[in-house]
């Protein structure tokens, strides 16, 4: 038994292919004009601590860090976690075994909040975690003397 496809079915299939091609071409053209795929923005975990206000940032940070890294645990893993979360950790040379980890977030045009976590160690183990939040004026931009001289 031989099955034949009617001309109307072939015409419908052809029209569907043409419309599908037009839709794909239109979407590709829009993506090219609009800049393509938007890159994924990485947001630091430290932003979570400041998201609900500065007053609760310290307690929420300590609760989270002590839950995952209790006193007496490995200091290296705690410092690695803070670095992955967006903190910049530096050793405090005035008191050996202490590290200062700072995360800065701009609050407005004129203010910057700094969440500082001081991690005290005995060399290998965590002995204390002391967070603090400070709000300071943003640094003033210095005028560029070359640009001003050209004017």
pLDDT at residue 54 tops 60: yes
Least confident of 81-90, 106-115, 139-148: 139-148
Q: Are 83 and 89 in contact (CB under 8 A)?
A: yes
Determine the pLDDT at residue 43.
64
Nearest to 121 by CA among 151, 144, 100: 100
Domain boundaries along the sequence of the chain? 1-36, 46-137
pLDDT digits (tens, 9 = 90+) for 18-42: 999 999 999 888 877 877 555 555 5
């Amino acid at each position: 038994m031989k099955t034949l496809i009617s001309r109307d079915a072939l015409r419908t299939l052809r029209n569907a292919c043409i419309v599908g091609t037009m839709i794909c071409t239109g979407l590709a053209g829009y993506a090219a004009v609009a800049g393509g795929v938007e890159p994924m923005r990485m947001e630091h975990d430290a932003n979570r601590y400041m998201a609900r206000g500065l007053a609760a940032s310290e307690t929420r940070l300590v609760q989270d860090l002590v839950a995952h890294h209790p006193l007496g645990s490995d200091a290296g893993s705690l410092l690695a976690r803070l670095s992955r979360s967006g903190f910049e950790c530096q050793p405090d040379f005035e008191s050996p075994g202490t590290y200062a980890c700072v995360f800065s977030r701009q609050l407005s045009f004129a203010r910057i909040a700094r969440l500082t976590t001081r991690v005290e160690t005995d060399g290998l183990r965590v002995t204390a975690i002391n967070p603090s939040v400070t709000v300071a004026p943003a640094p003033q931009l210095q005028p560029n003397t070359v640009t001003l001289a050209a004017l």
